[in-house]
Amino acid sequence: MERIEEIKKVIEEKMNKVNSLEELNDLKVLFLGKKGLITEVQGMIKEIPNDSKKEFGMKVNEVRTLFNTIYEEIKNKLEEEKINKKLKEEAIDITLPSEKIETGSIHPFNRIIMEVEDLFVSMGYDVVDGNEIETDEYCFKRLNVPDGHPARDSQDTFYITEEYLLRTQTSTAQAHTMEENKEKGPIRIICPGKVYRRDDDATHSHQFGQVEGLVVDKDISLADLKGTLEIFAKRLLGENTKVRFRPSYFPFTEPSVEVDLSCFKCGGKGCALCKQTGWIEVLGAGMVHPNVLRMGGYDPEVYTGFAFGTGLDRLAMFKYNIPDIRYLYTNDVRFLKEFDRKDEE
């Protein structure tokens, strides 16, 4: 019994000095381990005379409970302290200024494609992808430009083989779309993309962007073409933009027109950009030639259509006020940065 009282004292004394969970664990071993002090007195029960066994057993339990209670208390306290310390150390000061994250911007060439696509999709058009590597057949023959046709001269072509070439115009989408429309039903598509020509001088690049549009249906007229291009021009360049048709020639349309837009810089009064004419030539267009419809599997007696094509680079230059086409291709970061978050302005 005396031993038990002694142990109680040791418990109180030692437990008071505990500073860490490790030390606490050591004490657990000291008191309750295999050779621990409490375990030891518990073992003595065999030697205790029967009439005192009960009392002795209760005392042992008492000291064990005492140890466990203090142990739990200290353990909880130390664990809480540990967590608090950790939280304090890892605290983040959210009021500190952060490092500026550099983000890229959408390239004006992609931006103009996105704008044109949005505009036509809102009018019910599908966007189709053509191939940059094409065959002579789809780039020329099916667009009513047979071998030896003089129109081939104006589109100096990069031939890969006798048959394959880099497309010189996105009009190639016309022949593909008509052919792929198995039901020979109505068509309403645009096809934006890159085209290639053997040109490079100060004002021409061997690679540039075009967007082609094609509508085929019953009773489509030149008035539909004009209305469509008017919506296109006004939405892209402003409500006051006017559209003018001039007669022209393209092999794949009849009649063909050249489409001018009123100069968005001077509003039509005349300036250096429009060479004092008040107009800027922007698109080629016309009514789809019966031969092209026929080659695409459409009966020109039943169906009519219109088509138009324009240069994306020029559109981007007009829309974003870019003075030199080369800015679009040299990827000068200072220039590209000007397009940062432009759409949020």
How far CA 114 is from CA of 26, 68, 121, 192, 331, in Å, comes to: 70, 72, 10, 10, 19
Binding to ligand DAH by residue 328, rule CB under 6 A? no
Extract the tokens encoding 186.
């109505």
Q: Which of residues 194-253 bind ligand DAH (CB under 6 A)?
A: 212, 250, 253
Q: Are strands 279-288 and 207-217 parallel, antiparallel or unpaired?
A: unpaired
Binding to ligand DAH by residue 286, rule CB under 6 A? yes
Residue 59 or residue 176: which is nearer to ligand DAH going by CB? 176
**Stretch of 78-86, 228-236, 270-278, 302-310 lying at the interface with ligand DAH (CB under 6 A):** 302-310
**Stretch of 113-121, 238-246, 284-292, 337-345 lying at the interface with ligand DAH (CB under 6 A):** 284-292
**Stretch of 144-152, 184-192, 269-277, 307-315 lying at the interface with ligand DAH (CB under 6 A):** 307-315
Binding residues with ligand DAH: total (CB under 6 A): 11
Taking each helix axis as running N to C, give the angle between helix 222-237 and helix 108-121, from 0 to 180 degrees, rounded to the nearest 10.
Answer: 130
Rounded least distance, CB 329 to ligand DAH, Å = 19
Rounded least distance, CB 105 to ligand DAH, Å = 29
Rounded least distance, CB 93 to ligand DAH, Å = 60
What is 290-311 written as a DSSP string?
A: HHHHHHTT--TTT-EEEEEEEE
**Among residues 42, 144, 157, 171, the one that binds ligand DAH under rule CB under 6 A:** 171
Bridge partners (DSSP) of residue 164 are 135
From the list 206, 122, 221, the residue with the least C-alpha distance to 166 is: 206
Extract the tokens encoding 257.
């027109």
- Evaluate whether 15 touches 70 at the Cβ level (below 8 Å): yes
- Compute how many other C-beta atoms are within 10 angstroms of the C-beta atom of residue 255: 14
Binding to ligand DAH by residue 284, rule CB under 6 A? yes
**Stretch of 53-61, 65-73, 121-129, 278-286 lying at the interface with ligand DAH (CB under 6 A):** 278-286
Positions in the binding site for ligand DAH (CB under 6 A) = 169, 171, 212, 250, 253, 284-286, 307-309
